[in-house]
With several copies, the nearest count.
Chain A
């Protein structure tokens, strides 16, 4: 299936979830926060399977004022 991750198209094997997504990008869950379709998704739900067309945002802290 094709989803959007941080604004980019991304092809994820069917049944893939946030865990898979983070793993694929070598991101440790406790260093990022994740939005699914503009709503926060907590670590406990990272195993919810993603659906075609889902929009995922994976964010972290950067320098700011």
Chain B
């Protein structure tokens, strides 16, 4: 039973707060089932060269029902603002050819290091400014540093996507304080500004934790694609999004050092020490 509000990002009104990547599945069929099971509406894709020779002839688009999913192209693998902008423009062109509503949006990644795939705060800022100028709706991948995140928002990003931990590392949210400070900064006087925790999700509780911090959504890929049973994990992630979203809304109890009885001591027939 879902009682989630839609998530608004620029002109997009999104049903599911779980964004799922399309990479690294054992087969397109498993990908299809996992996406279906996850209940997601937004799926991310990468832009790459057509294999001009030796192609199996099957292409990703044949396996994505565009009447059902909104495609969010990324600029994964770009290490400079210039390359990221080129890839964003090519992605938009491809979307337009598919008449996909997502046409003018992009998940911007400008990476700073190949080993950690952590974002380059400078390049990301330049690319954001440029792409916003060119009419893009920019969802920008950032580190969990609140200041970098705020600067990306100030540059015009429609959404900031701080990393929980390195892409595909499965370490979850390593620094809850920073994610929480990102949320506080980005939503100051702008509570509906969308913040999506991106990268690092290893299992369902990571998703719940991110949402309980107040995130508006979570983007993941490897955590599902490389799970032993991707479809089951996709269902788990679906539940985890709801769980975390609702728990945040519900207002959790404060942590206490000591116990507080859930059954009353009043009316007890047993002997209580020291009484």
By a beta-carbon cutoff of 8 Å, the part of chain A in contact with chain B is 5-8, 25, 27, 29-33, 35, 38, 40, 42-43, 57-65
Contact = CB atoms under 8 A, between A and B. Distances in A.
B187 interface: no
Interface string B180-195: 0000000000000000
Contact of B59 (A33, A42, A60): A60
B49 A59 contact: yes
A54 to B, nearest CB: 15
A57 B91 CA distance: 13
Contacts, number: 118
Interface in B95-127: 97-98
13 contacts: A6-B50, A6-B52, A40-B89, A58-B50, A60-B50, A61-B61, A61-B94, A62-B45, A62-B264, A63-B31, A64-B264, A65-B44, A65-B220
A61 B60 contact: yes
B221 interface: yes
A42 B173 CA distance: 42
Interface of B: 21-25, 31, 44-50, 52, 59-61, 71, 73-74, 76, 86, 89-91, 93-94, 97-98, 167-168, 219-222, 225, 261-264, 267, 269
B266 to A, nearest CB: 9
Contacts of B262: 64-65
Given A64-B45, A65-B262, A59 B94 contact: yes
B263 A63 contact: yes
B49 A65 contact: no
Contacts of A38: 86
B275 to A, nearest CB: 12
B220 A40 contact: no
Given A35-B86, A38-B86, A40-B89, A58 B22 contact: no
